[in-house]
Amino acid sequence: MCEPIAPPTIQWPPRVTKERLRRLYASEAAGLLDEDLLDEVGITLYLRCQAILDIERAQSKGLVRCPQCQRQQRESWARRERPSRERPDPLVCCPTCGWSVSWSDYQRSYRRRQLNMGGAGSYFEAFVESYPGCRSPRDKMLAIDRLIHSFHYSLRSDPTLPTRPAAVNLVEGRLRDIVPFLDELTYGSDSPHLAETRRAWEETMDRWARQFATWESLAGRNWGQTNPDATHCKED
């Protein structure tokens, strides 16, 4: 049994900045794709998606990826003990290196950081699975474009109903900035490679607007009170 000496700091990967995405898309539109920036953005998004999936695994299966082992390029999973009367806040203890954290500290570490999987898990998973296999800059750009234009879908009412852009988990900024920003990226480029994502984005936005009236009303203060799926946006 290991005991935590002090609450450990768990560092979660940051969201990608709008400025980096803007520069990346501008270079793509100019036909001079910045490949270093492409890799930087791709890896940031990869780590972000992986963190989202890890937190989901911790919540649903009680398995926590050990951050200390991860820093040393090892994959190790610590199992959360069940709460008991003697230990209502159980320890999570890495069997490989002895790193440990209380479950409550672990939960606190990701609160209000936009790391909840919500209804976009399949997109985060698809990116984590496919991105490392992308060899050409074009494939990487397509994977990034598809990911940042994906949506959360309803977990409660209609599973085909788009509820909010997945970019809130991936791109810095607040929910109300995300759609105008993605529009700017989407229409700033007339690259034929990204045409499919643009079409899908337009269709989903149309559907979303029909369902939730207008973007302006959605971005308004009262949105979360009328849409049950909007509870995922509490973190914003």
Residues that bind Zn ion (CB under 5 A): 66, 68-69, 76, 94, 96-97, 99
Report the C-alpha gap between 151 and 12 in whole angstroms. 22
Q: Contact at 8 Å (CB) between 155 and 213?
A: no
The dihedral formed by the CA atoms of 34, 36, 40 and 41, expressed in degrees to the nearest 10:
10
User: For Zn ion, which is the closer residue by CB, 69 or 101?
Assistant: 69
Report the C-alpha gap between 112 and 232 in whole angstroms. 11
User: For Zn ion, which is the closer residue by CB, 68 or 211?
Assistant: 68
Q: Which two tokens stand for residue 11?
A: 């560092």
Q: Residue 100 Cβ, how far from Zn ion at the closest point, in Å?
A: 9
Q: What is the DSSP string of 44-93?
A: HHHHHHHHHHHHHHHHHH-EEE-HHHHHTT---EEEEPPP-SS-SS-EEE
User: For Zn ion, which is the closer residue by CB, 92 or 148?
Assistant: 92
Report the C-alpha gap between 236 and 14 in whole angstroms. 15
Report the C-alpha gap between 220 and 71 in whole angstroms. 41
Q: Residue 65 Cβ, how far from Zn ion at the closest point, in Å?
A: 9
Q: Contact at 8 Å (CB) between 92 and 71?
A: no
Report the C-alpha gap between 188 and 181 in whole angstroms. 10
User: For Zn ion, which is the closer residue by CB, 76 or 204?
Assistant: 76
User: For Zn ion, which is the closer residue by CB, 50 or 96?
Assistant: 96
Q: Residue 2 Cβ, how far from Zn ion at the closest point, in Å?
A: 10
Q: Residue 103 Cβ, how far from Zn ion at the closest point, in Å?
A: 16
Q: Residue 70 Cβ, how far from Zn ion at the closest point, in Å?
A: 8
Q: Residue 117 Cβ, how far from Zn ion at the closest point, in Å?
A: 23
Report the C-alpha gap between 59 and 133 in whole angstroms. 28
User: For Zn ion, which is the closer residue by CB, 66 or 175?
Assistant: 66
User: For Zn ion, which is the closer residue by CB, 68 or 191?
Assistant: 68
Q: Residue 13 Cβ, how far from Zn ion at the closest point, in Å?
A: 18
Phi and psi torsions of 182, nearest 5°: -65, -35
